[in-house]
Structure 1
Amino acid sequence: MSNYEDKISSMILRAGSLPGFKVHPYDTYNFLNKNYNVGNLDHPKEVYFIDENKLKLATGQIVAAHKLKFATTGFAAGAPGGLWGVTAGTALDLEEYVRRLFLMAQQMGHIYGLIPNPFAEEVDLDEEVYFESVQDEIVKLIALGLGVGGVSLTLTETSKALGVKKARDIARHKVSEELTTRVAKKVAGFLGKKLTKNQIAKGVSRAVPVIGGGINAGFNYVSIGGLGRKMATNLEKEHIRLKPQVLDHWQ
């Protein structure tokens, strides 16, 4: 793997221990109710009864918010210029890039009822326990959202495999570390190829402090926005694919 791919893969695998990488579904449900008046949600199955146009508007709002926040980070990293801007600034961009992907994947996964598992009875209230139980699915959501081939969610398959257990155990079932690592490297390889040229160009642009910050912020705004929209489109398709099975299970 390239240096960028190695760093991205490492960040994905260590996401649970990095600050600001986790969003509990109840936080997203509160956002949905506050902005789209969908009622008090407490389970992913409930989003399958919500008008899909509202869900699409909600994911658009999520992407817009992360675009703005990431662009602000880009300007801050680009503004100093000089050696610090080329080295420390580039590292900051990369971690913030992966963090935004993680946050968007979680929020969109919650909005479209993909995580936590919509076939499970309960949602873990503890953020750490919840995140540990769904981290492998979050990585898959990122991969699906970016259009990485050969990756699919196994929600119904997992449910059937664990049919002899209580439904709550589905949410706590963990895919092997080997699978998580394989998916993480696949995502890292995809992102690494996309970022390398742009990161080099950004490092050069920071030689001019103010203009460098503007270029950096503009690139961040466009890049995270494009990937966010792609992620929203692909996860919406997954929601539509699963909807008949989820409704049939709970009705």
Structure 2
Amino acid sequence: MENIKSENKNGTSLVNIISSAIQIPGIKVNRDFFLREQFNDVSPELLQLIIEKGPVEAKCSRIELRKMARKLVHKKTLFSTGASFAAGLPGGFAMAATIPADMIQFYGVALGLAQEISYLYGEGDLWSGDIPNTEEVTNQLILYCGVMLGASGAAQTVRVLSSSLAKQALKKLPQKALTKTFYYPIVKSIAKAFGAKMTKEAFAKGISKAVPLIGGVVSGGITFATLPPMGMRLVDALDEANFVYSHDDFEADWSDIAEVYENEEEYASQPLDSEIVTEVSKTASSSVLEKIQEAKKMLDAGIISDVEFSEIKAKLIAQM
């Protein structure tokens, strides 16, 4: 991220805008508090599991999580369309003079929503630790913004990083395999896609590309037509990654990521690390075998029939 910062230190780059937006009081979302608020009607035992493992690993249903995500998007949209956002800023809060207030407002609302959606789908706390890693936080938020704004490679990268398939594989690889081979180049590409300097014209152009028929941002707030489709882009990416992501999906996403990677001049001469692909393939095969073994146990216990076992087995083998 240092390269991006140094390239744009005198301009209103996407990095600078996000860095300014997260300074707005209330934009940083407390993960534990948020999850407790969202799941205030479950048992204490389940709530503790949700906080420790995340809603997905705690076996919250896909339908329920999507319903909750839609409510979050709707709530944030209502909040952003009136004067409530600006009215909520403390009098002493000073924004960078070079960054328009409506641009800061947009990113403030979008980043708050992105954090809530990510926590709902099991992502870790961005702000954990006494001194959060600012670079890692900024990278992740740029990635989420990229998904919401429709940047090339953003949704694919989020799906790869958020899927259980890839998470298991990446644990077996050195950290540099993640940050240096494809994550950082994609983040850099997203930042560049919205211009070295995020002028109001570039900002409006970016929004109109993300949301067809919207020519820009209404002064003083984001319209009802703008934020919902953007929020749902991130919901769709995380929903797919956590509930219906297959090895074929991974290969398709990896192909798209490779294309974006190769378009970055700095990395064009460096082949994308195939070690990740190899490890994911191993993990996928292992996962399929484990699921077949689980189905066999259910067959032996009389929970499912021979026909049902054969159907499950055929579907799982087809994923390999």
Q: TM-score, normalised by structure 1?
A: 0.61
Identity of aligned residues (%): 14
Distance in 1 (CA, whole Å) between partners of 2:172 and 2:207 is 42
Amino acid aligned to 2:75 = A
Q: Where does residue 70 of structure 1 map in the other structure?
A: 80
Q: Where does residue 111 of structure 1 map in the other structure?
A: 120
Q: Where does residue 59 of structure 1 map in the other structure?
A: 69
Task: Select between 44-53 and 33-42 the one with higher mean Cα deviation.
Answer: 33-42
Q: Residues 227 and 34 of structure 1: is their aligned pair in 2 closer, same or farther, counting only changes over 3 Å?
A: same
Q: Is the 8 Å Cα contact of residues 24 and 130 (structure 1) preserved in structure 2?
A: no
Q: Is the 8 Å Cα contact of residues 27 and 108 (structure 2) preserved in structure 1?
A: yes
Q: Which runs of 5+ in 2 are unaligned?
A: 1-10, 88-96, 209-214, 248-282, 295-320
Secondary structure of 2:40's aligned partner: helix
Q: Is the 8 Å Cα contact of residues 69 and 235 (structure 2) preserved in structure 1?
A: yes
Matching of residues 1-251 of structure 1 within 5 Å? 6=12, 8-34=14-40, 39-40=47-48, 41-48=50-57, 49-73=59-83, 91-113=100-122, 115-116=123-124, 125-126=128-129, 128-129=131-132, 133-151=136-154, 152-153=157-158, 154-155=160-161, 160-161=169-170, 163=172, 175=179, 179=185, 180-186=187-193, 191-195=203-207, 197-199=215-217, 202=218, 220-241=223-244
Q: Is the 8 Å Cα contact of residues 142 and 187 (structure 1) preserved in structure 2?
A: no
Q: Where does residue 208 of structure 1 map in the other structure?
A: none
Rg bigger for which structure? 2
Distance in 2 (CA, whole Å) between partners of 1:68 and 1:36 is 27
Q: Is the 8 Å Cα contact of residues 145 and 231 (structure 1) preserved in structure 2?
A: yes
**CA-atom RMSD, angstroms?**
4.3
Q: Structure 1 residue 43: deviation in Å? A: 3.0
Whose relative contact order is higher, 1 or 2, with alpha carbons under 8 Å and at least 6 apart?
1
Q: Structure 1 residue 109: deviation in Å? A: 0.7
Q: Structure 1 residue 69: deviation in Å? A: 1.0
Cα distance per residue 1:101-157 (max 9 Å; x no partner): 1111111111112x229xxxxx97437527764442232223223332223135365
Q: Is the 8 Å Cα contact of residues 64 and 225 (structure 1) preserved in structure 2?
A: yes
Distance in 2 (CA, whole Å) between partners of 1:28 and 1:224 is 20
From the two aligned structures, give the one with the greater helix fraction.
1
Q: Structure 1 residue 185: deviation in Å? A: 3.3
Number of residues of Structure 1 aligned to a counterpart in Structure 2? 208
Q: Residues 23 and 192 of structure 1: is their aligned pair in 2 closer, same or farther, counting only changes over 3 Å?
A: same
Q: Residues 139 and 44 of structure 1: is their aligned pair in 2 closer, same or farther, counting only changes over 3 Å?
A: farther
Secondary structure of 1:239's aligned partner: helix
Distance in 2 (CA, whole Å) between partners of 1:132 and 1:25 is 19
Q: Which runs of 5+ in 1 are unaligned?
A: 78-87, 118-122, 204-215
